[in-house]
């Protein structure tokens, strides 16, 4: 996770963010590669996704509290 997102979650944690049970879905490596985004080894990516689960739950909670739904949170790569 980028330093900016980590800092945002840290600042908003507690009174501003109520984490959801499920995190924001991480895009698949295939989606990222199709979009021209450099990717890492599958195992490293899976570990990174797991290591950011709590942050992604918090970010989803923040988005939901702001009125976003799953369609708004879906990553669209063209």
pLDDT (0 to 100) of residue 59? 85
Count helices and strands in the chain by DSSP H and E runs: 5, 0
Q: By residue range, what is the domain housing residue 58?
A: 3-73
pLDDT at 78 over 60: no
- When divided into structural domains, the chain yields a total of 1
53 is a domain residue = yes
17 is a domain residue = yes
Do 20 and 65 contact (CB within 8 A), yes or no?
Answer: no
Q: Is the pTM of this model over 0.75?
A: no
pLDDT at 56 over 90: no
12 is a domain residue = yes
78 is a domain residue = no
pLDDT (0 to 100) of residue 42? 92
Summarize pLDDT for 12-53 with one digit per residue, the tens: 776 677 888 988 888 888 888 888 989 889 999 999 999 989
Rounded distance, CA 61 to CA 59, Å? 5
pLDDT (0 to 100) of residue 14? 67
60 is a domain residue = yes
């Amino acid at each position: 996770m980028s330093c900016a997102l980590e800092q945002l979650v840290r600042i908003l944690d507690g009174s501003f963010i109520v984490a959801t049970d499920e995190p924001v879905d991480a895009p698949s490596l295939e989606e990222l590669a199709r979009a021209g985004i450099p990717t890492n080894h599958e195992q490293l990516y899976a570990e990174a996704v797991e290591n950011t689960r709590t942050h992604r739950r918090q970010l989803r909670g923040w988005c939901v509290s702001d009125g976003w739904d799953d369609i708004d949170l879906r990553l669209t790569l063209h």
